[in-house]
Amino acid sequence: MLPPQKTMRNNPIIIGIDPGYDRVGVAIGQKTDQTWRLFTYHCIQTEQKAQLFERYAQIARELDKLVRDYQVTQASIESLFWFKNQSTALNVSEARGVIIATLLRTQVKIAEYTPLQVKQSLTGYGRADKKAVEKMVRMELHLEDKMIDDTIDALAIMICHECSRKLKENL
């Protein structure tokens, strides 16, 4: 991945985050002219055998380090959607709270997007399937390497934020 670099004028360094408690998708990039500079994209993978609070602490530590190392100025995070499993929803909600608190502590500007908004932004259709979103992420960022869904989602959220930011800027 690319080393951190000072933010170019009017081009924030954005972190896209797909929240979870076992895996947190993260993508950090900066849109320059018509191309993206990707600094890193991966998952923060927590230890399955660790206590839940230890997992939350790991997420906070790793996220804090990423934000500081890459001089992130804006964050985009996916808002929660309906879960069938209540205990999973609670754990993801708590992890999302830890993520938001970490971002607030580092004074990063935060925006949140629903899955429908992310899909609409990338594909033009809010009910698009995961394959359509992945295809658009790969096309926009010129990526071919294999990734798990959480990483692709984080990249999609990052792109969505840049589109939304540019749209608001032009109003």
Per-residue b/e over 58-70, b at no fewer than 16 CB within 10 Å? Answer: bbbebbeebbeeb
Active site residue 145: no
Determine which one of 22, 33, 69, 78 is catalytic: 78
Determine which one of 18, 134, 140, 153 is catalytic: 18
* Helix pair angle (149-169, 130-141), 10° resolution: 70
Find the DSSP H helices in 70-146: 86-105, 115-123, 130-141
Active site residue 150: yes
| Residues 100/65, Cβ–Cβ less than 8 Å | no
Determine which one of 134, 140, 150, 153 is catalytic: 150
Active site residue 78: yes
Which residues belong to the active site?
18, 78, 150
